[in-house]
Amino acid sequence: MAQAPLAGPETRQSHGLDQFCGSLEERPGMSILDFSGASQATVSFVTGYGHRLYSDDFVHELDRVFAPSHTDPARGDFFENQSNPLLISEFFASALPFEDEIFDGALVWDSLQFLASPLLQQVVAKLHRSLRPGANLLALFHTEERIETIPTFAYRIQDHRTIQMYSRSLRKPAQVFNNRSLEKLFQDFRSVKFFLTRDRLREVIVKR
């Protein structure tokens, strides 16, 4: 799927980001993973704490590996392709080439919504292995249950409780998550904390 130009930002106040940033104050020299791709705003924010940022445009890699191809009619549906072992191996090699216990925090944003099972569980297991004990993971999930497509965003950190969200496109989610399904998804982590919001996004902080 081609990447559309980013529209102007929508600003969001985030209690989940505020708690995530609290862990950044514990010590310098942390390694943080960001699934929203490289942005100067987020780089400056994280390095301002004395940390290192690893940026990975996770959704773009999903499209590159699993999206149907006009030049290859044999490539099927985006979600069906996520069960292809060869494509899964390619995806992990390009999007998740991490050693165990290498990151002190992860900003995965809304990217997990576009993973079908069992790839979803495999990615979460990989994140669990890649995070050090005590590390926090911030994720966002749309709450609408009866909707065909949801907006996707590129996320930029403005300050410790403010996110700038640049609209990308509308996409079909693999599934809609509720609190119970999220607790099951992250059952190998130490804790799962939900933040009440008044909009369409559910914020989740997961501790390794």
Question: Rounded to an integer, what distance in angstroms lies between the CA atom of residue 21 and that of residue 134?
Answer: 14
SS3 of 136-192: EEEEEEECCCCCCCEEEEEEEEEECCEEEEEEEEEECCCCCCCHHHHHHHCCCCCEE
pLDDT tens-digit readout, 4-17: 445 568 999 999 99
- The CATH number for 9-207, chosen from 3.40.50.2000, 3.30.420.40, 3.40.50.620, 3.40.50.150, is 3.40.50.150
Supply the pTM of this predicted model: 0.91
158's CB contacts (< 8 A; 6+ apart) are: 11, 41, 45, 164
Q: Which residues contact 74 (CB under 8 A, 6 or more apart)?
A: none
Q: What is the pLDDT of residues 26-72, one digit of tens each?
A: 899 999 999 999 999 999 999 999 999 999 999 999 999 999 875 56
Q: In the chain, where are the structural domains located?
A: 9-207
